[in-house]
Structure 1
Amino acid sequence: MIQVNPRSGAAAPTTLSTATATAGKAELTTRSSATAAVSPVGQSAQKAAAAAYPDRPLISSEPLRYNVQLNQQLTAVQQADGFLLETEKQLLQLNHLITRRVPAVEVVKQAETLQQLLAKRESLSGGAVDRQLQLSLQSQPTVNFSLPDGAALLHDERPEVLTFSLAGRQRAISAAELDGSSPQQNLLRLNQALGKWGIHGQLSGGQLNFEVGEQRWPEVSQHLSVQGSGERYPQGQFYPLKPQAENGLEETLQQLVRAPGSGSALLGSLEQSLETVTRQRRTLQVTRGRVQQRIDSMATFNGPSSALQAAEDVAARLRKADFSSVSQALAGQANVQGARVRNVLAAA
């Protein structure tokens, strides 16, 4: 069960099961009220519309879909925060050891402990933190990389057809015709050729940088090659491009383990990584607040006995109702999933 810290003034913490229950309560009340005034023809229309779910775009008409998305967001936020919190602790400890000028063996031991944590980043963070320790809650994390002499790809005015190859489980080929008319036009042709593998390039300060999804990065980093016509790249054979990932905390720790005496020189990079982690955790706190507001907006029953009171009100109305009203109420009950009914009764 995922715990969400309540806002000030809340009576009790909200959990994922509570979010599920409140979403179920909202739908149960809405369907029961609507059924009392719906004819058999209207019931048929409702069943036909329900059959189209989940293709229907209006998620407010189906609280369950909204609730699943909310639960997924809560899980991603808490996993990311847990990983960043532990990374922050380990970084603080490492910086403290370097500042105190402790023996190199202690520094190396702490750096290796942090390396082990970063090696599990994808699983511990639920894929919500990339290798630069940036949050990626709404999309898959990416890797920024560059190519040796990448600028020559764009600024060389000689026309050339480049054939790219991405090996791995099976070889794939893609070609780009660079006419040399302008760097922007060459970049467009490159993106069209490399885009089939999820690679996207952009110019930043005159430098050519690329990005690709983390899941594709191992394949791209080891098996991306190119063949030219003798202008930029050789003809007749594929030349390995050897992409270089943007430096991050992992590379800094590798340098520190290889040369423990360089701790003071690397302290600036470590502190920069620490600032990034702290900033991302602040962002997560804002996200938590927004999620809490969404949970509160889903609440239909305000107190622990509200669901029971609502059931008693319905029972009182049915005692005075005719056969047609009772029949419609039973039809409405049949349209509510059993799991939602149990959630409502469990919270009563």
Structure 2
Amino acid sequence: MQIVQRPATATTGLATDSSASANPLDGSGVAGAADGAAAATGAAPSAPLRRGLSNWDQPLQNDISGAQQAVDFLEQSAAQLRALKTDLSAKLAARQLRDGQAEQRVRQFADTWRTRREASGGTLDARLNFASGEPSSQRFSVRGMTLQNLRNGARETLAVAVGSGAQGLRSVHLSPGLSDEEIVGRFDSALAPAGVRVAAGQDGELVFSTSEDSWPAVRDVFAVQGSGVRFPTGQLNRLKTEAEAPVVMPEGWGTADIEGMRATLQQVTQALAHVEAALAKVRLELASAAQRADSAMPQLETAGVEDLADRFAGIAQEPGYQSLLALTSALVGINRERVVSLLGLR
């Protein structure tokens, strides 16, 4: 990011309304501190900083913040898995039975894994796929929803109920001669308004996905009514949904005996590989977002910045109301998310 100097602009002095405590990331907090310093010394206020960061692309800020949260979660998970792997390897090498430490490490990681959605800001799904700006999703399959089953047969209109409420009832029209892509496209178009997307799986099945928040409702209500060709007529028939298994399942790890520890060590090693691969991808996403932010960052006014810094430092060292005003003007609005977002640019 290049900072260039532009002609100084006039200022109206210290603001007294709520705008004086605006977001410090847009330069207003610093400008308010500068005006406070100027008022204390009796000097003319410095030229204010342009509200450069206030125009920074909000989705870009969200991308950086989400990627940083995902990196933090994955780094913590990787560190715990490495410690567990080392502990299990040492116990197996010495053929040492349980002493409580391995169980504690397993519980620690299981607790961390359960916080995946919240800790990653909803950017990581159960397969550790990263989606910036979108809620994490749950993929699932539905019994009987295969391309072979849907491709064959006469013309039929399916009524598909997804989740609760009338808005979840959608119609899908099938007819002979449709290609697999057309079948998938018709299901996807019909169910998208209900928050469910559809794609073709590797084994010829339809793969559905919805947000993790919506998954419990979709899981409990997925029903189809046909005309007796592919699905029975009459009332809606409830179909079994099966969620895609998460990439890591610590609830199945055991350390009660040598065989259990050996099986757990293998699963921990696989989990660590998945976490490290996801971490590498998210770090690339974070670097890319930071690069975009650097090129998109508005250039800031720098007229009088050195003078501003000198005055602020002088006022901050002197006790009294003006010192408090200068400091609080600069610090109002700072929170963890803003600091993490800016640190991600380093």
Q: Report whether the alignment pairs 1:154 with 2:150.
A: yes
How far does the alpha carbon of each residue in 1:274-328 deviate from its partner, in whole angstroms, 9 at most, with x for none?
22321332344444445555359556367995262899xxxxxxxxxxxxxxxxx
State the match for 1:203 in structure 2. Answer: 200
Supply the distance in 1 between the matched residues of 2:117 and 2:152 (Cα, whole angstroms). Answer: 39
**Structure with the largest fraction of helix:** 1
State the match for 1:222 in structure 2. Answer: 220
For 2:186, which of 189, 196, 214 is the aligned residue? 189
State the match for 2:8 in structure 1. Answer: none
Supply the distance in 2 between the matched residues of 1:246 and 1:343 (Cα, whole angstroms). Answer: 48
User: What is the TM-score of this pair, normalised by structure 2?
Assistant: 0.62
Q: Report whether the alignment pairs 1:178 with 2:174.
A: yes
**Inter-CA distance 187–97: structure 2 relative to 1 (3 Å threshold):** same
Q: Report whether the alignment pairs 1:130 with 2:133.
A: no
For 1:280, which of 256, 278, 284 is the aligned residue? 278
SS state at 1:133 partner: coil
**Inter-CA distance 286–161: structure 2 relative to 1 (3 Å threshold):** closer
**Inter-CA distance 194–153: structure 2 relative to 1 (3 Å threshold):** farther
Supply the distance in 2 between the matched residues of 1:217 and 1:104 (Cα, whole angstroms). Answer: 38
State the match for 1:85 in structure 2. Answer: 75
For 1:119, which of 111, 114, 117 is the aligned residue? 114
State the match for 1:65 in structure 2. Answer: 55
How far does the alpha carbon of each residue in 1:66-93 deviate from its partner, in whole angstroms, 9 at most, with x for none?
1755554443233222211221123223
**Inter-CA distance 145–270: structure 2 relative to 1 (3 Å threshold):** farther
Which residues in structure 2 correspond to 1:257-272 (within 5 Å)?
261=259, 264-265=262-263, 267-272=265-270
* Amino acid corresponding to residue 150 of structure 1 in structure 2: M
Supply the distance in 2 between the matched residues of 1:145 and 1:65 (Cα, whole angstroms). Answer: 40
Which residues in structure 2 correspond to 1:321-332 (within 5 Å)?
none
Supply the distance in 1 between the matched residues of 2:56 and 2:111 (Cα, whole angstroms). Answer: 36
Relative contact order (alpha carbons < 8 A, sep ≥ 6): 1 or 2 greater? 2
SS state at 2:159 partner: strand
* Amino acid corresponding to residue 131 of structure 2 in structure 1: S
SS state at 2:27 partner: helix
Segments of 5+ residues of structure 1 without an aligned counterpart are 1-19, 29-59, 312-338
SS state at 1:150 partner: coil
Question: How much identity, in percent, do the aligned residues show?
Answer: 20
Supply the distance in 2 between the matched residues of 1:117 and 1:84 (Cα, whole angstroms). Answer: 10
SS state at 1:249 partner: coil
State the match for 2:300 in structure 1. Answer: 300
User: What is the TM-score of this pair, normalised by structure 1?
Assistant: 0.61
Instruction: Using the TM superposition, name which of 168-177 and 253-262 deviates more.
Output: 253-262
Supply the distance in 2 between the matched residues of 1:305 and 1:94 (Cα, whole angstroms). Answer: 51
Alpha carbons 1:154, 1:184 under 8 Å: kept:
no
Alpha carbons 2:98, 2:256 under 8 Å: kept:
no
Deviation at 1:209, TM superposition (A): 1.6
SS state at 1:157 partner: coil
For 1:76, which of 66, 78, 103 is the aligned residue? 66
* Amino acid corresponding to residue 188 of structure 1 in structure 2: G
How far does the alpha carbon of each residue in 1:239-293 deviate from its partner, in whole angstroms, 9 at most, with x for none?
222221222235x334335998555456555433322321332344444445555
Supply the distance in 2 between the matched residues of 1:262 and 1:194 (Cα, whole angstroms). Answer: 43
* Amino acid corresponding to residue 137 of structure 2 in structure 1: T
Supply the distance in 1 between the matched residues of 2:132 and 2:268 (Cα, whole angstroms). Answer: 24
Supply the distance in 2 between the matched residues of 1:278 and 1:288 (Cα, whole angstroms). Answer: 15
**Inter-CA distance 109–210: structure 2 relative to 1 (3 Å threshold):** same
| Matched residue count | 268
SS state at 1:77 partner: helix
Alpha carbons 1:22, 1:300 under 8 Å: kept:
no
Deviation at 1:109, TM superposition (A): 4.8
State the match for 1:37 in structure 2. Answer: none
Deviation at 1:218, TM superposition (A): 1.4
**Inter-CA distance 147–109: structure 2 relative to 1 (3 Å threshold):** farther
